[in-house]
A and B are shown apart, each in its own frame.
Chain A
Amino acid sequence: MDFLVSSFVSALRLIGSLSPDVRDAVRTSLSVSAGATAFAALLGIPLGLLVGLSEFPLKRLVVTLLNTLMGVPTVVVGLVVYGFLSRQGPLGILGLLFTPTAIVIGGTLLAAPIVANYALASVRGADPRIVPTALTLGAGRFRAVGTLIGEIRFGILAAVIAGFGRVVSEIGVAMMLGGNIRGYTRTMTTAIALETSKGEFAFGMALGIVLMMVALIVNLFLNLLQQR
């Protein structure tokens, strides 16, 4: 028990002193997560809206596929992207493997299905009277859809936040595609895994506390939005 208490105290000291290693890992985590979330939003929101608002053959299959992609293990996403970005892979020439960009690509693929599913759920849960009301007040088709998006904007925002939560807390993609390079691609999650395995439990705990705080803030924000 003393071990846990003393580690916790040391972890708080590390956070308080803004240790460069802690700072770098937090900065890298937040920046690659923000980048991946932005791209995931650009892909996932239109995809979710398109699937939710249109009727087409195999729609059910597409929805099932999106649901399945939400649950894909992060190491599988890491593995697939690794295959593309590795030197022998089709995109190996770009030299992106073990860079923050590689983590952003993997994070985007990880978060996009989540954003799409949340956006789709928002459309499905939207009041069915929104579009007919807009149409009968003289809105064109696009304006009516714009009105619908405006009405479900908190659901869309929740989709983006959920995507961020997924990316910031994952380890498989960051480890496989980033390579855990200190001060460059080392994220909070990869740093926790590495430092703990080296016996630096207090350091891992410090990052764990920061990660938990980020997750807590994200979820508080998400709950706040869902109540609106």
Chain B
Amino acid sequence: MYRLRSIRKRYGSIVALDIEELTIAEGRLYTLTGANGAGKSTLLNILAFLAPPTSGEIFYAGKRVDWKRDSVEAYRRKVTLLHQSPYLFGGSVHENVAFGLKIRGIQGEEQRRIVDRALDGVGLQGFRGRKARELSGGEAQRVAMARALALNPEVLLLDEPLANIDRETTGLLETVIASLPSQGTTVVMTTHDPAHLGLLNGESIFLEGGRVVPPPPDPGVSSTREQAEA
């Protein structure tokens, strides 16, 4: 799905990301781990086409990304990023989940059907008319997940989706996330919790100082196919 070559991202004199080669295969689940400041969020923002790298090349579905506005906007309709503390727009849960659908021209009954299905998927049946700002943290996280899933993205990027939420919501979202690759969605998810690596049965990408390095040994996790360049 993605191929990154010689990707560097600098903020002034600081090199936040320095990846020689990384391939992310279609329909797989990856956990992205590393210490704070390792470059996880920077990488996610690049994969989400929200920020271009300072240098290097990215290929998406075999095509070189040129970072022109039109093509970036087209890629963003295929890739969705869910932040750790997702922002819910003012208005109802329905308006939030339907936000991306409206942009794609999906209206009326079809929109309602997709919203209902997405809310069902995260266990929020009957929440469609609720005010988004009156939800609990866990409910808000699930609405944000439903909002992303409603778009049926080719790639779902998740920034610490299981942090700061209750156990019940964690279990539910783990199940939802783990099921996505079988539906053809590529998932890249950052996490600090080693337990998630095994539970989600994903491949691991480990970042250290902005570089991809071999992950530390963990019996519960399959090793990544991508290795850092020496």
Contact = CB atoms under 8 A, between A and B. Distances in A.
B90 A151 contact: yes
Interface in B93-144: 99-100, 103-104
B146 to A, nearest CB: 12
A10 to B, nearest CB: 49
Nearest to B83: A129
B195 to A, nearest CB: 27
A28 to B, nearest CB: 38
A138 to B, nearest CB: 4
Q: Which of A132, A134, A137 counts the most B-chain CB atoms under 10 A from its CB? A: A137
A132 B90 contact: no
Nearest to A136: B81
A140 interface: yes
Interface residues of B, number: 22
A157 to B, nearest CB: 14
Contacts of A135: 50, 76
Contacts of A137: 80, 99-100, 103, 147-148, 151
B151 A138 contact: yes
Contacts of A139: 100, 103
Interface in A99-113: none
Interface in A122-149: 127, 129-130, 132-141, 143, 147
Contact of A138 (B50, B77, B83, B87): B77
B200 to A, nearest CB: 21
B89 interface: yes
A138 B213 CA distance: 32
B48 interface: yes
B85 interface: yes
B63 interface: no
A133 B87 contact: yes
B103 A132 contact: no
B89 A151 contact: yes
Most chain B C-beta atoms within 10 Å of own C-beta, residue among A127, A130, A140: A140
A136 B76 contact: yes
Majority SS at the chain A contact face = helix
B68 interface: no
Contacts of A143: 103
Contacts of B166: none
A136 B50 contact: yes
A138 B104 contact: yes
Contact of B85 (A129, A130, A147, A150): A129
B90 A138 contact: no
Nearest to B45: A132
A158 to B, nearest CB: 15
B214 interface: no
A134 B76 CA distance: 10
Nearest to B91: A150
A125 to B, nearest CB: 14
B91 to A, nearest CB: 9
A227 B198 CA distance: 46
Contact of A127 (B50, B69, B87, B151): B87
B86 interface: yes
Nearest to A137: B100
10 contacts: A129-B86, A132-B83, A133-B87, A135-B50, A136-B50, A136-B76, A136-B81, A139-B103, A143-B103, A150-B90
Given A133-B86, A135-B76, 10 more contacts: A127-B87, A130-B87, A133-B89, A136-B50, A136-B76, A137-B80, A137-B151, A138-B151, A140-B73, A143-B103
Interface of A: 127, 129-130, 132-141, 143, 147, 150-151
Shortest 8 CB-CB distances between A and B: which pairs?
A: A129-B87, A137-B100, A138-B77, A136-B81, A133-B87, A138-B103, A138-B100, A140-B73
